[in-house]
């Protein structure tokens, strides 16, 4: 079998694969579809520490397990902010109601494998306002699915905190195009510099350490640091996929829950000091 024939055959088979995958239905509007809910009890001021968790729950398939784990593991219990990825509207609402959160959820697509909405959510113990879907550039070449970040403003005590739940593309996209997705998010953050406090969390699909470092340098441009530095791999083998970045808040502690069975990702958590945020406030 000649080399040219082998190459031609491979191209033909890849073409058949791509055609069989079809084209994904994307929702490219910045404000819809949108799902919200309000289940959190009213709070006036935060505790001494602000707990933030990011968790990719793998197609929202094990919602009951995810709820149980967030109730079981101390590191995940009663987090102030949850960033969720690979969610649908039903799973998001179930978690929010079971654990008493306010939430905003935006899908970017109807996932061809899961046959349901596919997107990101922000869950908060604090009021949520100014929600927005940030469309990231470049479609997955396999099925043309797009990716997003979900943006919102949280009113925590008397302060406004800008937050993002993000999910960038896998290695189906080139390294350059995946970096451009992060650059688009950073450009959006650059326009929010009136906010003294910004928190970004999500699945960045960073395979190599150099990818993590490159993204971190981009966030540094807009004065965000990697709050989850040192957590290590968050999926199988060596994959450091999930990260949290912050501006204006000091990291006290961080980690991951390796025992999670709700997903192929480990949930990542950080504890942030609130003294700088509310030093002049008392309950």
**Residue 138: both structure tokens together:** 């470049």
Least Cα distance to 258 among 278, 282, 272, 242 occurs for: 242
State the average pLDDT for the chain.
Answer: 90
Q: How far from the centroid of its chain's Cα atoms is residue 45's Cα? A: 25
In the chain, where the domains are located: 24-278
pLDDT reported for residue 192: 95
Q: Topology of 24-278 in CATH?
A: Deoxyribonuclease I; Chain A (3.60.10)
Do residues 148 and 136 make contact, with C-beta atoms less than 8 angstroms apart? yes
CB 163, CB 122: distance < 8 Å: yes
Mean pLDDT of 48-55: 95
* Cα–Cα dist 140/57, whole Å: 20
pLDDT band at 23 (very low <50, low <70, confident <90, very high): confident
| pLDDT of 63 strictly over 60 | yes
Does 5 have pLDDT greater than 70?
A: no
CB atoms within 10 A of CB 276: 12
């Amino acid at each position: 079998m000649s080399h040219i024939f082998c190459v031609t055959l491979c191209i033909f088979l890849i073409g058949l694969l791509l055609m069989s995958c079809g084209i994904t239905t994307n929702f490219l509007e910045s404000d819809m579809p949108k799902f919200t809910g309000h289940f959190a009890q009213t709070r006036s001021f935060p505790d001494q520490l602000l707990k933030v968790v990011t968790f990719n729950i793998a197609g929202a398939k094990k919602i009951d397990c995810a709820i149980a784990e967030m109730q079981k593991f101390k590191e995940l219990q009663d987090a102030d902010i949850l960033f969720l990825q690979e969610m649908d509207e039903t799973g998001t609402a179930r978690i929010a109601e079971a654990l008493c959160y306010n939430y905003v959820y935006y899908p970017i697509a109807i996932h061809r494998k899961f046959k349901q909405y596919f997107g990101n959510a922000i869950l908060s113990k604090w009021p949520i306002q100014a929600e927005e879907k940030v469309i990231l550039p470049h479609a997955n070449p396999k099925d043309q699915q797009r990716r997003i970040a979900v943006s919102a403003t949280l009113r925590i005590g008397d302060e406004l905190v800008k937050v993002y739940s993000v999910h960038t593309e896998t290695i189906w996209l080139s390294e350059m195009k995946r970096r451009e997705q992060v650059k688009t998010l950073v450009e959006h953050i650059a326009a929010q510099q009136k906010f003294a406090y910004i928190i970004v969390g999500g699945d960045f699909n960073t395979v190599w350490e150099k990818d993590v470092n490159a993204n971190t340098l981009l966030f540094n441009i807009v004065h965000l640091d990697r709050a989850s530095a040192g957590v290590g791999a968050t999926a199988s083998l060596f994959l450091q996929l999930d990260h949290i970045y912050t501006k204006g808040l000091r990291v006290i502690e961080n980690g991951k829950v390796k025992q999670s069975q709700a997903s192929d990702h480990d949930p990542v958590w950080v504890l942030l000091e609130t003294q700088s945020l509310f030093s002049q406030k008392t309950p």
